[in-house]
Amino acid sequence: MIQNVLLQPSWVNRLQDDDLRALTPLIYSHVNPYGRFDLDMNTRLAIGL
């Protein structure tokens, strides 16, 4: 959707570099680079046993 809006001629020359940088969190804010970790708080880890 963002790409379709940015391709319109009225927006191409309107946005500056700072404006385009502000769009980055909208695109990547849902990405978790560390993966998903499910915690089971009812089970103990066998560390040091």
Q: Domain ranges in the chain? A: 1-29
Mean pLDDT of 4-27: 84
Phi, psi of 11 (to 5 degrees): -100, -15
How confident is the model at residue 5, as a pLDDT? 83
How confident is the model at residue 42, as a pLDDT? 93
Q: Are 10 and 4 in contact (CB under 8 A)?
A: no
pTM over 0.85: no
Question: Measuring CA to CA, how many Å separate 20 from each of 7, 11, 39, 41?
Answer: 13, 11, 37, 42
What is the CB neighbour count within 10 angstroms for residue 42? 5
